[in-house]
Amino acid sequence: MLYYLIIDSNGDLLITGGTINITAQSPFDFDGTGSKTGGTLIVNGTETSTLSNQMMGGGNRGGNSRMR
């Protein structure tokens, strides 16, 4: 099974509320600071408060970048 990046930010990533439920090897990629101040974050079935940064380093991928 292949997993693809789910949430990508070219700047800071801030989660302040709501519920995010992600199943992925690399759920986050952000170039700035990542923080969670509210809400519920579930990664691979486990609730967490940590945003693990993948830092793919792809830079400008253009407008054709899609999850598959």
- The pLDDT value recorded for residue 63 is 42
pLDDT tens digits for 11-25? 999 999 999 999 888
Gap between the Cα atoms of 65 and 34, Å rounded: 22
Of 65 and 36, the structure prediction assigns the larger pLDDT to 36
- The pLDDT value recorded for residue 5 is 56
pLDDT tens digits for 44-61? 999 999 898 886 555 444
- The pLDDT value recorded for residue 62 is 42
